[in-house]
Each structure stands twice: as C-alpha cells, then as structure tokens.
C-alpha cells in the first residue's frame, strides 16, 4: 500500500514543472508518507487484531462470541462486567472462544473487557474497551390472576423456596461446554419481539421480560435448543412447568409454562430432543412458550443467540 501511494504521488509530481513543482513536492511528499504510513498501520492492525467480537456492536441483552487468536498451549483469563469469562479451544481454525454477554439490565456506556494470555512468550494483556449501547425495549401492561401480583403468605414461602432452588441450580453449571454448533428455536411457532419489554402486571408490579415468547398452542412439542444436561424439570409458581438445561460454563436455557414435562433431572439431551409440550401454566395470559437464555446470572436475548453462527466454534 505504501509503495503504491508513493508511486502515484511521484507520477503526479513528475508532470509538474518549474518553481511550482518544487514547492508542491516539498508540501505533498511528507503528506504522502503520512497517508501511506497511516493506511498501512490501519490495515496491519485490522489484520492482526488478536481479539474479535461477534456482533461487533454490543447492546444491552446481547450474547457475544469472543475469539482470541492464541496457540493451543496458551492459558487465557478473562472477565467482563464482573463476570468471569471461560475460554475453550476452537473446534477448527485455531484460537480460543468464549460465549458471554451483557445482561438486559446491565450498565450502558464504556466497559472494560479484561483478557490476559499466558504462554511461553510471556503474559500479554489484550484488554479493551467495549461500548454497551441501549436497546429499544418497549413497555406494556398485562392482566393476570391477582395471586400472581400479590401472593399470600403460603405462596410467598413457596416462592422463596423455589428462588433458593433455582440459585442452587444456576450455581452448579458444568466446567466444560456441553453445547455443539448453533442454537435452534425450541418450537416451530411464531416468535414475538418481547424480550426486554418493561411490563406492568395489573397496573402494580413492574418487571422486565427476560425471555422470548413463542405463540405455541397447547400441546406443541418443545425441544432442546442445544445439547446439555437437564438440571431442573418441575412445576414452579411463576414459571409453571419448567425445564432448565445446563449447556456448561454458566450458560442455561429455560423453557416455561409447559403443559407437560417429558424429561427428568440429570438427563442428558441432544439438540432437538423433546422436553415436553407447551401450555399455559404459571403466570400467563394464555398458551405460549417462554424461552430464556441465562449466562452467569445475565439474561440474554434468545433471538440474538439464534442468529449467532457457532458451527465452526465447537
């Protein structure tokens, strides 16, 4: 690039005569050097950047695939927004990957993605600033049974016990990746753009919708979006019949409001295995499937996870 730029400038200047040519040469030659050097540096930086993110633009609720160009013998440490990032070697093409993300209610603005690579060549700090942008989430009002807005004493005890159970389940994720290739939608049904919506229940209780709703009629087969281990399969107060799959390294998918559960806790499932049938159990306004994605406590947009191409990752 630098050689071509100098050649172009030289051709132009060679056509100039006399005093004007001498002046222009003194003015434009240094500028040509600066332009060529800048272009060469920019291209070299783009070609050799050891860390890439997909998607390149990160918004609140985004799952993010992080790739680090490092040898198989390297040891990589990382953290982002208070969450540990665990890397695994690529299935093909070399390098290391991590599937991470930003919580739907996470902080906006600049954040620091910390990455340290240890190898025989020493320790390399590949940390960088990642801008987290706002996402255009909506607000809507919903009518549900009064008991789901103002639970009684017995219901509150049940809700507290279930909260502790879910915390224990989420704390025990496998220390390795259990998923393979890209994630698939859990049902064959129309999805609604509901993730991140701020909701008012009966005009009193505000919450953020942390999943994706599918308009699945009661009895529609609900399938595993990817391989993993069933870590919860039971009836819960708000979630109704619920199945949670651990995909490893803190990544979970949750299928809620089922009319029937067809798997057992501890069972390994492959992509596409049936988990149960959709329904209208728990806090709902009608039959549908609520499908959620959780990574280390952060709830991510399932639609964006489905759009990530993970076929060459593992």
Q: What is the mean pLDDT of residues 8-33?
A: 46
Please give the pLDDT value at position 186. Answer: 98
**18-48 helix and 2-14 helix, angle to the nearest 10 degrees:** 170
Total-model pTM: 0.80
pLDDT at 57 over 70: yes
Using pLDDT thresholds of 50, 70 and 90, give the confidence band for residue 6: very low
At residue 2, does pLDDT exceed 70? no
């Amino acid at each position: 690039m630098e050689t071509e730029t100098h050649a172009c400038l030289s051709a132009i200047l060679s056509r100039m005569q006399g005093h004007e040519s001498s002046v222009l040469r003194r003015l434009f030659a240094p500028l040509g050097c600066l332009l060529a050097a800048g272009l060469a540096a920019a291209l070299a930086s783009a070609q050799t950047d050891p860390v890439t993110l997909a998607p390149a633009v990160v918004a609140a609720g985004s799952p993010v695939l992080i790739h680090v160009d490092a040898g198989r013998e390297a040891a990589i440490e990382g953290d982002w927004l208070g969450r540990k990032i665990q890397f695994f070697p690529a299935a093909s093409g070399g390098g290391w990957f991590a599937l991470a993300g930003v919580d739907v209610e996470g902080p906006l603005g600049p954040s620091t993605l910390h990455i340290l690579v240890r190898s025989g060549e020493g320790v390399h700090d590949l940390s960088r600033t990642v801008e987290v942008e706002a996402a255009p989430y909506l607000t809507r009002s919903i009518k549900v049974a009064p008991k789901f807005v103002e639970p009684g004493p017995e219901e509150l005890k049940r809700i507290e016990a279930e909260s502790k159970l879910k915390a224990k389940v989420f704390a025990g994720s496998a220390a390795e990746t259990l998923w393979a290739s890209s994630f698939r939608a859990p049902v064959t049904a129309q999805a609604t753009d509901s993730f991140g919506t701020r909701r008012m229940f009966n005009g009193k209780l505000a919450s953020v919708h942390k999943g994706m709703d599918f308009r699945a009629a009661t009895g529609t087969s609900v399938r595993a979006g990817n391989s993993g281990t069933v870590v919860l399969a039971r009836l819960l107060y708000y979630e109704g019949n619920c199945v949670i799959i651990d995909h490893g390294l803190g990544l979970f998918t949750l299928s809620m409001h089922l009319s029937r559960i067809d798997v057992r806790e501890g069972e390994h499932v492959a992509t596409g295995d049936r988990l149960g049938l959709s329904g209208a159990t728990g806090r709902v306004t009608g039959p549908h499937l609520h499908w959620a994605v959780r990574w280390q406590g952060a709830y991510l947009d399932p639609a964006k996870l489905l759009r990530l191409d993970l076929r060459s990752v593992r």
